[in-house]
Amino acid sequence: MSKILVTGGLGFIGSHTVVELQNEGYEVVIIDDLSNSSENVLDGITAITGKTPIFEKLDLKEKADVEAFFAKHNDVVGVIHFAASKAVGESVQEPLLYYENNISTLVYILKELRKLPSASFIFSSSCTVYGQADELPITENAPVKPAESPYGNTKQIGEEIIRDTCKITPSLKAIALRYFNPIGAHESVEIGELPLGVPLNLVPFITQTAAGVREQLSVFGDDYPTPDGTCIRDYIHVVDLAKAHVIALQRLLEEKNKENYETFNLGTGKGSSVLEVVQSFEKVSGEKLNYKIVGRREGDVISAYADTTKAAEELGWKTKLSLDDAVLSAWKWEQKVRS
């Protein structure tokens, strides 16, 4: 049974990926510093899979602790690296915090992986590397634009660091997964998105508004050059996304990769506007949402959705769950959290 390290494994995408890994028979070790997650998530993972992953509370910024972890778990064959600070706005206010937390931790992990006879590495990247793309849908060949935020820049720099490391390390194989907008929750409602403080993403803000936690949803701008004037994004169900991480890892473990470093877009291939997501929520929940149109928000790209051809052809992966599925699962999760 292969041992896989999942950093940030108690977070939103991390926890769903741990579930899929355990369902496939992998032994999972989670590292999480609990700065943006809760140890209670372990109970949800256990309830779904019937097995509790190994958990180590550890700050990856502490180089000596990272070295000690790999000395103890020297049988790790693969790493899925989620641990990172991820708030765009906060990154603008606290750039050094983001560069330290997102870059130094990556470097320390890669240094340890270079010592192993072979290692497979999956990096949690983002469609933010494309900025406002010149063409839609966005393919993996789209140019990487200057980052709009320090957060986005850490994803670009992270990809460059991994690519450069793979060039000089034949024993290391890596895939960067550039995902679009993950939403939803596990169908069991045992795990889901748990934003601390005011949500920064659309769907948790919608569900919290419907639950009475937030007074009103602000829709930032209705004068964009889109069919209904609101921004368009590619919303992907977190369970579909989690399954893609397992498939990408298996590609590396089975040595089916064509290069030492590969990139894949993960999305549905379909864009949905902010108002379409609101309408989807109202339809599946039966709740009327209190929202209002306000001015545009700085830094928002107009439209972004994925060309998923490469993931379909190379990984044999595509999404199975719809926007309605994702929004309904997010609403059920919100209701459980508030009950």
Angstrom distance (rounded) from CA 143 to CA 268 = 20
Establish whether the linkage from the previous residue to 137 is cis, with ω within 30° of 0.
yes
The answer to whether 151 is a known catalytic residue is: yes
Q: Which helix (H) or strand (E) holds 220?
A: strand 217-220
Cα four-point dihedral sign 57, 73, 194, 148:
positive
Q: Which two tokens stand for residue 232?
A: 């368009």
Residues 64 and 112: beta-carbon distance below 8 Å = no
Backbone phi, psi, residue 260, to 5°:
-65, -25
Backbone phi, psi, residue 67, to 5°:
-60, -40
Q: Which two tokens stand for residue 94?
A: 């606290």
Please enumerate in sequence order all residues whose Cβ is within 8 A of that of 267, keeping only pairs 6 or more positions apart, or say none.
127, 179, 180, 181, 234, 236, 305, 306, 308, 319
Q: Which of 151, 224, 291, 305 is catalytic?
A: 151
Backbone phi, psi, residue 316, to 5°:
65, 30
Angstrom distance (rounded) from CA 234 to CA 228 = 16
**DSSP 8-state class, residue 138:** B
Query: No. of H helices and E strands in the chain?
Result: 12, 13
Distance of CA 111 to the CA centre of its chain: 23
Angstrom distance (rounded) from CA 271 to CA 264 = 18
**Closest CA relative to residue 56, chosen from 22, 82, 31:** 31
Residues with catalytic roles:
151
